[in-house]
């Protein structure tokens, strides 16, 4: 570890810059085609910015501030660069008239200026944002696990595809993904912080889905932060645990740690929305556009999430830094440190 970076010993990229660019295109094409077919998703066009003050933009962990600007030709209407599209997608499910069992996906490009830059985090975020209409009967943990297994199957197929195209990249993901609640991890590893718990369980199983992220654990703190108005983290699940959301984590030997590729979950219904707004002290949001529509029953029940495009490409191509996949802005110190360790940032 140096300057906040994990620096693999004797690192050497498996692909040249030209091969890397080709591989990125192949991964993105293959993955999105398979994801849309597997989950019955239709591609739609996404906004880069939305109107401020509508409640449509996401504040992720509840504290991140979006980039905003005024539109001169619209009398100074204020807009915000999106941070994710969790709430926008759900409104589009209603506005496009999607039915139970079908949904949408989109290329989401966002800027998150509050990110702490390291091997995995950039201020530029690109992901496949997806959302699918579900029935009332499907608002349960078993259905969430069913969808997670479907997505993991696409991840596995993509790894095999890249191996056939670039034989130097050997597959190592396990056949199945394992499921753990964040409270189980707290009980198993009480002496570790949440990130270290993820590292331990992921190293043991190779691929895990950690459920129940957002609500307080027994120690009075959440496993990780979640905004109160998209994922449902209060509804009873099973074995006395709560939460119908979670993260897909893969073990990444190159960086010796758990590697998050997706945050997802069953979305709030009117009841869980109000509970979570009360818990977090944000009941004033109920008067915003998105929240009004949800509370009025205008939006369908849904499940959805985001899958990092650069994150996936970095993982499949065995890169040490996300800057080897995407072009972004880094400190001069980070650029220099990476070059000294054979990590070439785009």
> Catalytic residues, which ones?
58, 112, 127, 247, 260, 263
d(CA 52, CA 70) in angstroms, rounded, equals 10
d(CA 315, CA 223) in angstroms, rounded, equals 24
In terms of phi and psi (left: phi > 0; alpha: psi -120 to 50; beta: otherwise), the region of 297 is left
What is the chain's Cα-based Rg? 20
d(CA 202, CA 258) in angstroms, rounded, equals 6
CB 229 within 8 A of CB 268: yes
Annotate 76-130 with DSSP letters as a single string: TEEEEE-S--HHHHHHHHHHHT--TT-EEEEEEEEE-TTPPPSSS--SEEEEEEE
Tokens read off for 329: 């802005």
Secondary structure of residue 343 in the 3-state scheme: coil
CA-nearest of 294, 256, 263, 261 to 276 is 294
């Amino acid at each position: 570890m140096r300057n906040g970076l994990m620096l693999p010993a004797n690192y050497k990229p498996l692909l040249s810059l030209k091969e890397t660019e080709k591989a990125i295109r192949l991964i993105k094409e293959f993955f999105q085609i398979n994801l849309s077919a597997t989950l019955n998703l239709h591609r739609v066009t996404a906004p880069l910015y939305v109107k401020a003050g509508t409640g449509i933009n996401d504040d992720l962990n509840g504290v991140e501030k979006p980039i905003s600007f005024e539109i001169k030709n619209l009398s100074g209407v204020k807009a915000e660069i999106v941070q994710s599209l969790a709430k926008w997608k759900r409104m589009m499910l209603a506005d496009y008239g999607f039915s139970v069992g079908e949904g949408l996906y989109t290329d989401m490009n966002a800027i998150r200026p509050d990110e702490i830059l390291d091997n995995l985090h950039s201020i530029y975020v690109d992901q496949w944002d997806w959302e699918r209409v579900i029935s009332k009967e499907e608002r349960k943990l078993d259905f969430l696990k069913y969808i997670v297994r479907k997505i993991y199957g696409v991840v596995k197929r993509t790894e095999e595809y890249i191996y056939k195209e670039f034989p130097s990249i050997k597959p190592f993901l396990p056949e199945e993904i394992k499921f753990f609640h964040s409270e189980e991890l707290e009980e198993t590893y009480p002496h570790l912080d949440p990130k270290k718990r993820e590292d331990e369980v992921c190293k043991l199983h190779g691929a895990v889905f950690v459920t129940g992220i957002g609500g307080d654990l027994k120690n009075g703190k959440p496993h990780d932060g979640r905004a109160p108005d998209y994922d449902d983290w209060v509804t009873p699940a099973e074995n006395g645990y709560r939460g119908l959301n979670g993260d897909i984590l893969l073990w990444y030997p190159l960086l010796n740690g758990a590697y998050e590729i997706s945050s997802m979950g069953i979305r709030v219904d009117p009841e869980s929305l109000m509970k979570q707004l009360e818990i977090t002290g944000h009941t004033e949001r109920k008067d915003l556009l998105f929240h009004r529509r949800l509370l009025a029953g205008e939006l369908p029940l849904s499940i959805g999430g985001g899958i990092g495009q650069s994150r996936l490409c970095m993982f499949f191509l065995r890169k040490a830094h996300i800057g080897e996949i995407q072009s972004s802005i880094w400190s001069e110190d980070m650029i220099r440190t990476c070059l000294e360790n054979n990590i070439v940032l785009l």
